[in-house]
Structure 1
């Protein structure tokens, strides 16, 4: 169908016949076809509307550059909404310049828009206000990401470059840069040359005098992790959007083409329930110590927390402190961990953060440590982490929205001791596993951190086993270790704070206490010195 808006005719396409109306607005230099894969997934549950913006595809073009101003583009969108949904508000989705012009519409008072999902496109006014803030690394990075904007302002040469070189090769460019195999619209060369006017008619004018623009409906901002052109995280959107949901996707700039399934799922979920999503955090060994403190720390940030422990009563006690959810899980069992991961996903969703914290202590010489004692330490400290990483890591990768895995290692991973062969070996394996996994999962935007506490006052000392001693001597050693750790005075809350910080900053390795940091430095600068200390009798 055709919709008249001012001096242009807009080519509008409608798919599906029932459900809420979802309007998808494309960016530059695309046509409505950029949404085809997403629309095909949505039309089963929604009435999906796409259209070619002015100057693109089958729509006509304005006669002057001034015709590409944001207010004209917003008027086009309102005309389409009036035509396809005259009585009910619509759910709006924009990508790239489609998002930029949609921001103009959703920040216009009285707009009949129920929700707005923005993918890789900021509000220019918000960007203008942010650009006036104190210069930061984020400003410099965005300046270099936006190099092409300056090129588009070069008269004659920019459109000529599109017509003679880039337009005919655009499909190959997308494949090389974005990994997207798609046949460009037949009008791509003309559309791209015309569309340069989008930049010339708006960028300098809006950035020079940004307006106060508020979006009062629920807004979902989807940031592709590998976007080469725009980052929306620094823009202080909470100032302008009272009901804001931020989500990430492990994709490049053209996410609707490369990752249509997760894009469609995010749109569908937001249209169905626009309540801002809480971060979901899963913690093993959450019944006490570092696990409990970490649960409390994440809950204080507003996260929804799920804990497990082999001691179900302790897990329920932690959950009761934070209004969380408790499960009984023995991390030594791969089958049990996988079943729990499936249950968590079904009941709460795929976690954003997984903390593999469950662990046991053991002390004793290598020759006095039995095979059964080795097995216990490795089953919990290493295999428990492996099972957690695999079960939840697979879910994170499949979801395509990134995430973070935290593995509890130890300063013992790089601080040798003749009485910690089993424990140190298990933690050193976790340390290296975390580095290897971090490299593997980076393309999927899943971060991995190894946390290395030092001497921390938790109940692990009371349950640590000892090789080659009687039960009475073991209890004496446990009591002595507990007193030493208590005198150290560093509680699990300090570790929990570092775990939250590691997730927020995507830190690869975090030595927590002073002794853990000193040992980490010594392991790199003077490993021979640590080997000498390892020979000392400390028990």
Structure 2
């Protein structure tokens, strides 16, 4: 039996109980290194690949509790308190006791204890990531690391070179990047102040920190932060004092990663600019990039997403592990890979094309349509084009109770939706005087109330989760382009446009974006199913064929609308006219509304 298994069994039988916040099945041991003792916790089967989770500042290992819980059934998960934090002892004196060289000694001591014969997979957040970059680039760890996942923490050496390049070759953009990151790094300057950080953390800041995290990051508690927070933060100030200035002034020139690296970048990080990772491929040639619409403390706020990406990446680099879906390579894959996207009206046209575009970007897709076969077909094809998972759901969006049941099922079975696309709609043409009350009601029920139901139900779930999201509502150029032939349709879409604008204002403070997409003449089957007021069935069929032929001649593909949808989410755009005629009508509605009203009087050639 290997030493790795013996150590784990001994810890399980005689080790102390783990700190509150970690799963009760965690086994704890002490590892001696450099005159201190490190508190190490282990979960899972020691025969499986080992994943080491490194915490940041001012955290302890409990910051990883939710992620560790999700990984323990597949991996041997190891967490340890960095020297001076949690239940690990602190060096004496503190000055000089937290250098990256000594932190590397600690890491190798832990790895030798928990996985003496096999390399480990390293995952770091914040200062854990800073350490991880050191471990992944120094010679003495070669052969002991299999992969590295970096979350919200740069290499200090890479950071130093990043600063030097922008200072030696300044351009307006580079200067703006320096100033932007300089402003985000305000806390680094504060931590270099003698005694002030220690007094603040052992005083009011330490007491209020859990509440500050809850307010700023929507970070749940659950045993985190632990009672050692004040001492952890006071000791951890020396991480900055012992390393930052020295490395930024004299960055290593050999800081190339010798392992595959996965970079996970929260797009709303208050402390680190996304631009900090520009040109990182120079230093990490085997780099996989991910972005996540979240703030800094993603191990607490998005443990599900982190656990999925860690699992996928480790499996992709670990020989003998069951095959996993390949990392998405489509456009916007960095932004949407692994996210949960729900599209209504996904059985055909713009909805199906949008579902496919998100699938190609690696998103998990829920295809919703009132036709079960069409929804199932979209889900099947979505998996073929890149979605790691895709499901079909059948619902009439106009049915409030059915939508409530769908929202409940989605939350229970799939999780909270990251992107909602309210696309389902029907066409309705004909003069106002010939449009019946029933035709008005059905048009508004689907085109407007369907959007309201989706926004209300799934938007509330996004808001309650507290980690942002995005809602896309398919309106139309008819929302701002009046027409004598489309009173019911135009009214419903104008209401969708205004609803989107109102929601955007209301939900902005919760990090939820709202976009109204306004296609023009797009070649979909809506023309083949539209109703025409005042016409008998034979006349309706004739008009449908003629209209479909005209749209076919125009031949603007729904795939371009889908591309506009993804781009709008990435850019958080408010109103997106898609086709040239939609953009032109939008411009006229603002600059020359009288001209647009004149065009509206022209009788369409039906």
Deviation at 1:410, TM superposition (A): 0.6
Conservation of the 8 A alpha-carbon contact between 1:23 and 1:91: yes
Conservation of the 8 A alpha-carbon contact between 1:362 and 1:420: yes
Q: Deviation digits for residues 118-176 of structure 1, max 9, x if unmatched? A: 432123344456554784565553232124445556xxxx1243245565232366345
1:10 aligns to 2:18 (yes or no): no
Deviation at 1:372, TM superposition (A): 0.9
The aligned residue for residue 53 of structure 1 is 82
Q: Deviation digits for residues 369-398 of structure 1, max 9, x if unmatched? A: 212101211122122223333444455456
Conservation of the 8 A alpha-carbon contact between 2:71 and 2:307: yes
Conservation of the 8 A alpha-carbon contact between 1:409 and 1:428: yes
Conservation of the 8 A alpha-carbon contact between 2:126 and 2:151: yes
Conservation of the 8 A alpha-carbon contact between 2:191 and 2:197: no
- The root-mean-square deviation of aligned C-alpha atoms, in Å, is 4.0
The aligned residue for residue 9 of structure 2 is none
Residue number among 201, 223, 227 corresponding to 2:269 in the alignment: 227
1:295 aligns to 2:350 (yes or no): no
1:211 aligns to 2:255 (yes or no): yes
Q: Could you say what secondary structure the match of 1:94 adopts?
A: strand
The aligned residue for residue 161 of structure 1 is 196
After superposition, residues 33-432 of structure 1 pair within 5 angstroms as 50-56=79-85, 59-61=89-91, 63=93, 67-86=97-116, 90=120, 92-108=122-138, 109-110=141-142, 112-113=144-145, 116-128=148-160, 132=165, 135=173, 140-150=179-189, 158-164=193-199, 168-171=203-206, 174=209, 175-176=211-212, 179=215, 185-187=229-231, 190-191=234-235, 193-200=237-244, 202-205=246-249, 207=251, 209=253, 211-216=255-260, 219=262, 221=264, 223-232=265-274, 235=277, 240=284, 242=286, 244=288, 246=290, 248=292, 250=294, 252-255=295-298, 259=300, 262-263=302-303, 265-266=304-305, 268-269=307-308, 274=313, 275=324, 276=327, 278-319=338-379, 321-322=381-382, 323=384, 326-340=392-406, 351-397=417-463, 402-432=468-498
User: For the structure 1 residues 314 and 130, does the alpha-carbon distance in structure 2 shift closer, same or farther, using more than 3 Å as the test?
Assistant: farther
Conservation of the 8 A alpha-carbon contact between 2:426 and 2:530: yes
Conservation of the 8 A alpha-carbon contact between 2:191 and 2:237: no
Conservation of the 8 A alpha-carbon contact between 1:26 and 1:34: yes
Q: Could you say what secondary structure the match of 1:499 adopts?
A: helix
Conservation of the 8 A alpha-carbon contact between 2:345 and 2:369: yes
Deviation at 1:360, TM superposition (A): 0.9
Please, what TM-score do these two structures have when normalized by structure 2?
A: 0.73
Output the CA distance in 2 between the equivalents of 1:314 and 1:14: 49
The aligned residue for residue 334 of structure 2 is none
Conservation of the 8 A alpha-carbon contact between 2:521 and 2:551: yes
Residue number among 50, 54, 63 corresponding to 1:25 in the alignment: 54
Output the CA distance in 1 between the equivalents of 2:564 and 2:578: 7
Please, what TM-score do these two structures have when normalized by structure 1?
A: 0.81
Q: Deviation digits for residues 100-129 of structure 1, max 9, x if unmatched? A: 112222445545456655432123344456
Q: Deviation digits for residues 493-522 of structure 1, max 9, x if unmatched? A: 321221221122222211112222222223
Output the CA distance in 2 between the equivalents of 1:301 and 1:47: 30
Q: Deviation digits for residues 228-282 of structure 1, max 9, x if unmatched? A: 10145762566727474736364x43455xx46x43x445545655455645543
Residue number among 515, 525, 528 corresponding to 1:459 in the alignment: 525
Q: How many residues are aligned here?
A: 527
Output the CA distance in 2 between the equivalents of 1:196 and 1:119: 18
Q: Could you say what secondary structure the match of 2:229 adopts?
A: coil
User: For the structure 1 residues 423 and 304, does the alpha-carbon distance in structure 2 shift closer, same or farther, using more than 3 Å as the test?
Assistant: same
